[in-house]
């Protein structure tokens, strides 16, 4: 029997090589489940599912305190430095079906470095993969997670100014996904503080979508 005071959310990470997917996944989980390091090539070569510990009294829902658990699917960079696009796409497709086939996916996070301009074919490749794997309703289940957001502050930008001056490609994408985005900062914030802020924002998106999920066959 499902516990009404416990919520499990299922997330999947997409993005280019060295965008910070695995590191972001570790922050979401509050662990070091995913191998993450700087490298001149793609580090992640296969999909991997991580589960967080229970976050007791994370929020209130219908007048009750709710315990939250997060499940995160980390995926290889796309495009990949060693694997073909076809291989990566098939790997991710099978992993989505295996892990979220029945439970469903609440949100796909497109992980994008804030200090890398969102333009050109390479940055749009992960978006195209999300569209193909999630289907026609992809925009209702997709948000952008901007990593290295501290670089924005260092450059003298506010979040609003950054988005105002963004490329037409990014602006179009943000409009498509109803402006669901999160900035992930590292400087001056503890990992737990980063995690809570990001999870609170994610729960806002999921709540707005009425806790609906995408299932995979």
Q: What would the pLDDT profile of 158-213 be if each residue is shown by its tens digit? A: 999 999 999 999 999 999 999 999 999 987 667 888 899 999 999 999 999 999 99
Q: List, in order, residues 6 or more apart from 131 with CB less than 8 Å away.
A: 138
> Which pLDDT score is estimated for 189?
67
> Which pLDDT score is estimated for 39?
67
Before 79, cis peptide (omega within 30)? yes
Cα–Cα nearest to 12, from 22, 205, 192: 22
Q: List, in order, residues 6 or more apart from 170 with CB less than 8 Å away.
A: 118, 119, 163
The DSSP string of 93-149 is: HHHHHHHHTTT-BSEEEEEEETTS---SHHHHHHHHHHHHHH-TTGGGGEEEEEE-T
Conformation bin of residue 118: beta by default, left when phi > 0, alpha when psi is -120 to 50:
beta
> Which pLDDT score is estimated for 1?
43
36-91, pLDDT tens digit by residue? 767 666 778 899 999 999 999 998 887 889 999 999 999 998 888 787 899 999 99
> Which pLDDT score is estimated for 2?
66
Distance between CA atoms of residues 106 and 94, nearest Å: 17
> Which pLDDT score is estimated for 54?
92
Distance between CA atoms of residues 183 and 112, nearest Å: 10
Q: Find the mean pLDDT for residues 151-159.
A: 93
Comparing 7-11, 27-31, 120-124, 134-138, which segment has the lowest mean pLDDT?
120-124
Q: Are the C-beta atoms of residues 128 and 176 closer than 8 Å to each other? A: no
Q: Are the C-beta atoms of residues 82 and 72 closer than 8 Å to each other? A: no
Q: Find the mean pLDDT for residues 113-136.
A: 93
Comparing 59-63, 93-97, 116-120, 194-198, which segment has the lowest mean pLDDT?
59-63
- The pair phi, psi for residue 164, each rounded to 5°, is -65, -35
Cα–Cα nearest to 185, from 144, 145, 126, 142: 145
Q: Say if residue 152's pLDDT is above 80.
A: yes
Alpha-carbon radius of gyration of the chain: 17
> Which pLDDT score is estimated for 61?
81
Give 64's strand partners: 61
Q: Say if residue 120's pLDDT is above 50.
A: yes
């Amino acid at each position: 029997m499902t516990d009404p005071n416990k919520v499990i959310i299922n997330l999947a990470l997409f993005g280019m090589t060295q965008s910070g997917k695995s590191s972001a996944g570790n922050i979401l989980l509050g662990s070091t489940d995913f191998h993450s390091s700087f490298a001149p090539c793609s580090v992640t070569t296969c999909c991997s599912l991580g589960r967080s510990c229970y976050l007791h009294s994370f929020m209130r829902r219908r007048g009750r305190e709710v315990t939250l658990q997060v499940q995160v699917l980390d995926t290889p960079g796309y495009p990949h430095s060693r694997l073909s696009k076809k291989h990566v796409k098939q790997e991710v497709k099978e992993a989505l079906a295996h892990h979220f086939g029945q439970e469903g996916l609440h949100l796909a996070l497109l992980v994008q470095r804030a200090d890398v301009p969102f333009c050109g074919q390479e940055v749009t490749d992960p978006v195209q993969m999300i569209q193909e794997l999630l289907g026609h309703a992809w925009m209702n289940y997709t948000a952008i997670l901007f990593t290295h957001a501290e670089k924005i502050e260092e450059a003298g930008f506010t979040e609003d100014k950054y988005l105002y001056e963004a490329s037409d490609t990014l602006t179009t994408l943000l409009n498509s996904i109803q402006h669901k985005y999160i900035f992930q900062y590292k400087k001056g914030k503890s990992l737990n503080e980063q995690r809570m802020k990001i999870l609170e924002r994610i729960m806002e998106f999921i709540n707005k979508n009425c806790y609906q999920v995408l299932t995979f066959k």
